Homo-oligomer: A and B are copies of this chain.
Amino acid sequence: MTEMPARAADVVTARPATAVDAADAAAAPPRPLDPPPRLLMGPGPVNAHPRVLRASSVPLIGQYDPAMTAYMAETSALYRTVFGTANRETLLVNGTSRAGIEAALVSLVAPGERVLVPVFGRFGHLLVEIAKRAGAQVHTIEAEWGTVFDPAAIAEAVRRVRPRLLAMVHGDTSTTMLQPLDGLGAVCAEYDALLYADVTASLGGNVFAADAWGIDAATAGLQKCLGGPSGTAPVTFSPRAVEVIGGRRQIEEGLREAGDVENELRIGSNYFDMAMLFDYWGDRRLNHHTEATSALYGARECAALLVEEGMEAAVRRHELHGSALAAGVRGLGLEVFGDQRHRMNNVVAALIPDGVSDAAVRGGMLDEFGIEIGTSFGPLRGRVWRIGAMGYNARKDAVLTTLAALEQVLRGAGAKVPVGGGVEAAREAYQGAAA
Interface residues of A (CB under 8 A from B): 2, 5-22, 25-26, 28-30, 33, 35-38, 40, 42, 44-48, 53-71, 73-74, 76-78, 80-81, 94-99, 102, 106, 122-126, 128-130, 132-135, 221, 223, 229-232, 252-255, 257, 266-272, 283-295, 297-298, 300-301, 304, 307-308, 366, 372, 377-378
- Bound together, the chains give a CA A38 to CA B54 distance in angstroms of 19
Partner of A289, one of B22, B97, B123, B292: B97
CB distance from A51 to the nearest CB of B (A): 9
CB neighbours (8 Å) of A29 from chain B are 78, 304, 307-308
Query: Is the Cβ of A40 less than 8 Å from the Cβ of B56?
Result: no
Query: Is the Cβ of A67 less than 8 Å from the Cβ of B18?
Result: yes
Query: Is the Cβ of A67 less than 8 Å from the Cβ of B25?
Result: no
CB distance from A328 to the nearest CB of B (A): 21
- Bound together, the chains give a CA A45 to CA B95 distance in angstroms of 18
Query: Is the Cβ of A59 less than 8 Å from the Cβ of B74?
Result: no
Query: Is the Cβ of A71 less than 8 Å from the Cβ of B35?
Result: yes
CB neighbours (8 Å) of A229 from chain B are 60, 292-295
CB neighbours (8 Å) of A36 from chain B are 61, 65, 67
Partner of A129, one of B63, B253, B283: B253
Between A and B, 20 residue pairs with Cβ closer than 8 Å are: A8-B284, A10-B63, A12-B65, A16-B67, A19-B74, A29-B304, A33-B58, A35-B65, A44-B290, A48-B59, A99-B99, A125-B254, A134-B268, A229-B293, A229-B295, A230-B290, A230-B291, A255-B378, A268-B268, A269-B269
Interface centre among A71, A267, A290, A304 (most CB of B within 10 A): A290
- Bound together, the chains give a CA A125 to CA B262 distance in angstroms of 13
Query: Is the Cβ of A123 less than 8 Å from the Cβ of B57?
Result: no
Query: Is the Cβ of A28 less than 8 Å from the Cβ of B81?
Result: yes
Query: Is the Cβ of A285 less than 8 Å from the Cβ of B2?
Result: no
Query: Is the Cβ of A95 less than 8 Å from the Cβ of B98?
Result: no
Partner of A294, one of B26, B68, B102, B231: B231
CB neighbours (8 Å) of A266 from chain B are 133
Known: A229-B295, A287-B8, A294-B229. A59 touches B35 (CB 8 A): yes
Partner of A102, one of B5, B232, B270, B298: B270
Known: A14-B66, A304-B29. A94 touches B231 (CB 8 A): yes
Known: A102-B270, A102-B271. A65 touches B38 (CB 8 A): yes
Interface centre among A25, A130, A221, A223 (most CB of B within 10 A): A25
- Bound together, the chains give a CA A17 to CA B35 distance in angstroms of 36
Interface centre among A59, A135, A254, A272 (most CB of B within 10 A): A254
CB neighbours (8 Å) of A77 from chain B are 25-26, 28
CB distance from A326 to the nearest CB of B (A): 22
Query: Is the Cβ of A5 less than 8 Å from the Cβ of B290?
Result: no
Query: Is the Cβ of B61 less than 8 Å from the Cβ of A286?
Result: no
CB neighbours (8 Å) of A56 from chain B are 56-57, 294
Query: Is the Cβ of A74 less than 8 Å from the Cβ of B133?
Result: no
- Bound together, the chains give a CA A106 to CA B81 distance in angstroms of 36
Partner of A20, one of B8, B60, B70, B372: B70
Interface centre among A18, A21, A35, A123 (most CB of B within 10 A): A35
CB neighbours (8 Å) of A301 from chain B are 33
- Bound together, the chains give a CA A332 to CA B257 distance in angstroms of 33
Known: A10-B287, A33-B58, A129-B253; 10 extra A-B contacts, CB below 8 A, are A6-B286, A30-B74, A30-B304, A33-B55, A38-B60, A45-B62, A60-B229, A94-B230, A230-B292, A231-B295
